Structure 1
Amino acid sequence: MLEFGAESILIEQTAQRLGKALGVDSVEISLIPSAIVLTTLLKGRSATTTRRVHHKPINMSIVCDVQKMVIEIEKDKHDSDWVTTHMKNIQPNYYNRWLVILMVGLACASFSYLYGADIWAFAITFISSSIAMYIRQELSKKRFMLILTFGITAFIATLLSSTSLLFNLTNTPNVVFAASVLLLVPGFPFVTSFLDGFKGYLSMAWGRWLQASLLTIATCMGIILAMSVLNIKGW
């Protein structure tokens, strides 16, 4: 759940409910952005384990599947072997990549329209952001560092959207520049960092906020580099 972006209090509550359903006295958990430390207490004895977190793309289907599993254990009293087998069968529920590209392109283009873009700006934004999303998917598939992925994607999106200014295709090129990189806004990490901090998980809040900030900086660097290459002064 932590690898796929779940909120910290939800992870802790789910672990405690699972332990109680399996018959242990209590479960104590400590979360940091890179690892989980978990202690299980049973009849005066304890077992502590530490597991490293390998961050993956945000996927709430995994979080929902784990919660459904815990609810089922609480109702039907399954044993730990059933839990292990069920956990191994949980797989991410990915959308079709071309559908994602289409919807991201439409979303960015729709934002440009809301900001007053004309029809040509709408079309250029759609094409630029769709290609940028494809590049982002390909870089993620090849396991590039997330910071590099965001920087390269922002660079390519800015290069593509610059056609609106270089060839004088629209009266609102500044809107195209801004809307084409909206797919790189790390909104989810910023939201979860605020929620974690508000609920007392300060180390997780700072970790997630810093990760989101670094992704934002990488995006800005990609945009600035592209504008420097094209000798564009600003939006």
Structure 2
Amino acid sequence: QRASSPAPGCCCSPVHSRMVQTRSAAAQRRTLAQILPWPLYLPNLIGYVRVITMVAAMLESDPASEKAMWLLLLSLALDYIDGPCARAFDMCTQFGDLLDHYTDHVSMFWLVYITSTSTVNVAVNAAHAVVACGYMARCGHYFKHSSGGNFVTRLVEENNYFNMPAMLWNANTVLIPFVKMSYHIEKGLPQNDSTLLINIFDALGGLVTLSYTVAVCLPPDGRSRKGK
């Protein structure tokens, strides 16, 4: 007679073995988070690398050089790793979250500062950086993590910033500056050279940046946020 297969709940079944392995891996991650001091959490180490690469780019004699561009790109690219890493290894900390957003806003202002010919655009982004950093210093968290908001903040933050106003904001603070830097490096154009179409999108993005800056300073309207 053919031997019967182990029951799914049996200690020797493949299903049970996989469950044990999964629990063991999860336990190891929790243990790692418990053993390491929070300054040495992997997401925070990634944050330190982000700061180092950002500062190194800012110290370049030519702020729009190829080396500076790749250093800034690396710093911003790591922004897409530290958050998932923190959640995967149960290493979310207030320090890491603030470090992440401080680095974001300093990087964004620097990109606008070195590539924009518009004094208004630079001033708007400087104000946004100051407001963002001041807000985080006072509240201990980023705008999006507050319990309330208003029409403008909800509009920009909807679907986790995947919407048209947020895209214009990102164009103004990140994408357009990098496009200008790439043309400067590859085509020899001035780092702040532009076209009418780029200027239009840049102006629209600057308007979103200004609106968002003002909106986060206003009291919440009592409605809950979506897409957090």
Asked if TM exceeds 0.5, the reply is no
Higher normalized helix content (fraction of residues): 2
Q: Which has the higher strand share?
A: 1
TM-score bracket relative to the smaller structure: under 0.3
